[in-house]
Amino acid sequence: MLTALGAATLMAQPVMADQACLRGINLAGAEFGKPGQAYGKGYTYPSAQTVAYFIDKGFKSARLPFLWERLQPRLYKDFNAAEAKRLVQSVDGMRTKGMVVILDPHNYARYNDNLIGSDEVPQSAFTDFWRRLASLFAGRNDVIFGLMNEPYEIGAEDWLSAANSAIAAIRQTGARNLVLVPGTAWTGAHSWFKGDYGTPNASVMLDVADPAGNFAYEVHQYLDTDFSGKNDECSRAADAVKAIGDFSDWLRSNGRRAFLGEFAVPMAAACQPALAQMVSAVEQAPDVWLGWSYWAAGDWWKPDEPLNIQPVKGGDRPQMQTLSQIFGEHATCGR
């Protein structure tokens, strides 16, 4: 475990102005399809029009999902040059518009369906991947490194080992970018204190080691019956808000900070107050939360996808209307 001095040191690390009060949107598309599918047919990156829409609405950051296998078709080998160029251009296109970008390898702690730490995907392969990726974006303080989307079916101790090795590799490149570290069990706030795969995240993930002292935890929290975000309802909204509050207490007592990387509600009018409550639960605790990122938007979402807030011809979706009202009433977090 970290000593009290170590925890205090982490809290003393300054949060850069472009990393505070992040109101973000997940811009999906680059994680779509199979790794071998062609660009523009199996997957896409956010269009300039979509980026402009969310900037105009007041979003300050974007979480950008993409596939590890597509960027690095062979473990321990160079990145695919064309795909790396697309990724960099997409990131820089948003950065030039003033957005903070969160890199999101959307792989669930897997590569070609094989778990990190298996014979097929040794931890060292994940370390190699992040060494190469960090080298592409080192020095861009408005680019945040999200280590991995929603690890699951991996013990917290094994995931911690992989995460710490990746962080060490990132720092060896000279990159001091903020790193977002998830837990296992889909990194749910509601499951942070449960031992779904053994020891709870709340115990194990206190041992995250970052030589630069510039990391935060990433958790996700949906509001439906099983907290998966797959159901068109928000029946457990009260439990979800409580989970955020309990997690906030844990962060505060351990001198840590976090980012809510995914949450969402469907279009139903009854769910809109719950969306506002989730945002408030984060923004009223700016001492421990860096911000949030709504799931999701993107040019290729089908119009009937209940959680997405990609604009339609008829105007803003109900969730976007709720968020716009929050932005209008509260210009900054914690106010």
Residue 8 predicted with pLDDT over 70: no
pTM for this structure? 0.94
Q: Region 45-68: what's the mean pLDDT?
A: 98
Q: Region 105-119: what's the mean pLDDT?
A: 98
Evaluate whether residue 243 is within a structural domain: yes
Residue 10 predicted with pLDDT over 90: no
Evaluate whether residue 334 is within a structural domain: no
How many domains are there within the chain?
1
Evaluate whether residue 267 is within a structural domain: yes
- Name the region of 331 (left: φ>0; alpha: ψ -120 to 50; beta: rest): alpha
The parent domain of residue 103 ranges over: 4-329
Instruction: Read off the CATH number of the domain in which 291 is found.
Output: 3.20.20.80
Tens digits of per-residue pLDDT, 209-255? 999 999 999 999 999 999 999 999 999 999 999 999 999 999 999 99
Q: Which one of the listed residues 262, 283, 305, 329 is annotated catalytic?
A: 262
Check residues 155 and 313 and name the one with the higher pLDDT: 155
Q: Is 262 assigned a catalytic role?
A: yes
Evaluate whether residue 335 is within a structural domain: no
Q: Are 292 and 61 in contact (CB under 8 A)?
A: no
Asked whether the CA dihedral 107, 110, 116, 121 is positive or negative, the reply is negative
Our CA angle for 325, 265, 40, nearest 5°, is 100
Measured distance CA(150)–CA(221) in Å, rounded: 11
Evaluate whether residue 303 is within a structural domain: yes
Measured distance CA(134)–CA(124) in Å, rounded: 15
Residue 178 predicted with pLDDT over 80: yes
Q: Region 52-77: what's the mean pLDDT?
A: 98
Q: Which residue's structure tokens are 């996808």?
A: 305
Evaluate whether residue 150 is within a structural domain: yes
Tens digits of per-residue pLDDT, 126-170? 999 999 999 999 999 999 999 999 999 999 999 999 999 999 999
Band (208; pLDDT cuts 50, 70, 90): very high
Q: Region 191-207: what's the mean pLDDT?
A: 96
Check residues 282 and 5 and name the one with the higher pLDDT: 282
Evaluate whether residue 176 is within a structural domain: yes
Residue 26 predicted with pLDDT over 70: yes
Q: Are 291 and 21 in contact (CB under 8 A)?
A: yes
User: Strand ranges (DSSP E) for 32-99?
Assistant: 61-66
Res 20: pLDDT: 61
Q: Which one of the listed residues 83, 150, 218, 283 is annotated catalytic?
A: 150
Measured distance CA(259)–CA(220) in Å, rounded: 9
Q: Is 120 assigned a catalytic role?
A: no
- Where b means 16+ CB within 10 Å and e means fewer, 175-190 reads bbbbbbbbbbbbbbbb
Per the prediction, the chain carries an average pLDDT of 93
User: Helix, strand, coil: what percent of the chain each, to 5?
Assistant: 40, 15, 45
**Amino acid in the structure at residue 321:** Q
**Amino acid in the structure at residue 65:** P
Evaluate whether residue 22 is within a structural domain: yes
Nearest to 30 by CA among 59, 71, 60, 61: 71
Cα dist. 163→86, 125, 181 in Å? 26, 12, 7
Cβ burial, residue 314 (10 Å; 0-12/13-18/19+): exposed
Token code pair at residue 131 = 């060494």
**Amino acid in the structure at residue 237:** A
